[in-house]
Amino acid sequence: MRAIRIERYGGREVLEEVGVDVPAPGPGEVRVKLAYAGINFMDVYTRRGVYAKPGHYAASLPLTLGMEGAGRVDAVGEGVRAWKPGDRVAWCLVRGSHAEYAVVPGSKLVAVPDGLGLDIAAAALFQGITAHYLVEDVGCLRSGLWCLVHSGSGGIAQLLIQMARRRGARVLATASSAGKAEVARSRGAEGVSGYESEAVMALVQQHIGERGVDVVFDSAGADTFDTSLRALRTAGLMVLYGTNSGKVPPIDPMRLADAGSLFFTRPRLADYVADAATLRRRAKDVFDALAAGALSVHISGVHDFSTLAEGHRQLEARESIGKSVLRIDSTVV
């Protein structure tokens, strides 16, 4: 089968299309024939070697890239009862999806409803369940609360804004261009500014006055961290969920006190889908809302094996809006 492998960490030049054996599912595992796979910032981090050290999401070389996909079950390993060949499934946080077949633990699979395309499932699962836990269990958003969502045109951010609005919360956002600001507005942000601290503070002042926002969702990190703390109300919640602009330096706890008794969390999806039941509940909420048209995801780019490097380039160059996918076999439906 065809697969995108890396043998060493580095730039886009380390991405290689190779022919490898079709993997066999072991006990508890399921082999899936892929239709589409998601392309994520996490693939870029993996390629660069961010996960080379032991720890969460640890990677070792050589590896097949890709940690999100959708397709049909092709074979099941010993002891698998929940899945059978032909089932439409999706998964994330298991590496190896940038290939024609992937082997996935049965406990990491979720069902894709009949009304939902496998391209949308591959595009929406990882970012959708991330937005889901951030809105429901971290930000605990509800009517009357205001949040600030940085990089409002990003994949997670677009879903986050829609889910926040569905829960009755109100949203401000940042974006790096007029086009991206328009995308954030179209998802439900009431006001959007650039990233400069003064622009963000003026936006908050205009919509909420002196009080500040209740929650900030920050995936940029280094460039936005200080502004995020400034934008919060007393005892507000700072949620740092990504570091697209670089790592945040260690912070002195007194900074949280001085900024107004703030709460700070650096959450990780794996901890919010720790068991199969929680993963399936979140995925079902997201997929049902997509199938019903209550939530929408924009596929901004469709790449093939030969153009995957371009997908990475667009992510790194900040050109992508929403989500790109890798088309593996569009006859799998």
Residue 228 interacts with ligand NAP (CB under 6 A): yes or no: no
What is the 3-state secondary structure of the chain? Answer: CEEEEECCCCCHHHCEEEECCCCCCCCCEEEEEEEEEEECHHHHHHHHCCCCCCCCCCCCCCEECCCEEEEEEEEECCCCCCCCCCCEEEEECCCCCCECEEEEEHHHCEECCCCCCHHHHHHHHHHHHHHHHHHHHHCCCCCCCEEEECCCCEHHHHHHHHHHHHCCCEEEEECCCHHHHHHHHHHCCCEEECCCHHHHHHHHHHHHHHHCEEEEEECCCCCCHHHHHHHEEEEEEEEECCCCCCCCCCCCHHHHHHCCCCEEECCCHHHHCCCHHHHHHHHHHHHHHHHCCCCCCCEEEEECHHHHHHHHHHHHCCCCCEEEEEECCCCCC
Instruction: Between 76 and 325, name the residue whose CB sits nearer to ligand NAP.
Output: 325
Distance CA 17, CA 37 (A): 15
Q: How many residues contact ligand NAP, by CB under 6 A?
A: 27
- Contacts to ligand NAP from residues 235-254, by CB under 6 A: 241-245
Cβ contact 164:173 at 8 Å: no
Segment lying near ligand NAP (by CB under 6 A), choices 18-26, 46-54, 287-295, 313-321:
313-321
20 vs 199, beta carbon nearer ligand NAP: 199
Positions in 192-221 near ligand NAP (CB under 6 A): 219-220
Adjacent-strand bridge partners of 240: 218
Q: How far is the CB of 330 from ligand NAP (least distance, A)?
A: 23
Measured from the CB atom, the residue of 131 and 169 that comes closer to ligand NAP is: 131
From residue 141 to residue 170, the character string flagging contacts with ligand NAP as x (rule: CB under 6 A) and all else as - is: ----------x-xxxxx-------------
Does residue 176 belong to the site contacting ligand NAP (CB under 6 A)?
yes
* Minimum CB–partner distance for residue 236 and ligand NAP (Å): 19
Is 332 within 8 Å of 72 (Cβ atoms)? yes
Candidate residues 77, 105, 260, 267; the one interacting with ligand NAP per rule CB under 6 A: 267
Residue 41 touching ligand NAP (CB under 6 A): yes
Q: How far is the CB of 159 from ligand NAP (least distance, A)?
A: 8
CB of 105 to ligand NAP, least distance (A): 19
Rule CB under 6 A: say whether 49 interacts with ligand NAP: no
Shortest Cβ distance from residue 17 to ligand NAP (Å)?
23
CB of 52 to ligand NAP, least distance (A): 16
Region of 1-9, 38-46, 111-119, 208-216 interacting with ligand NAP (CB under 6 A): 38-46
Using CB under 6 A as the binding rule, whether residue 320 contacts ligand NAP is answered as yes
Which residues bind to ligand NAP, rule: CB under 6 A?
Answer: 40-42, 127, 130, 151, 153-157, 175-176, 180, 219-220, 241-245, 267-269, 315, 318, 320
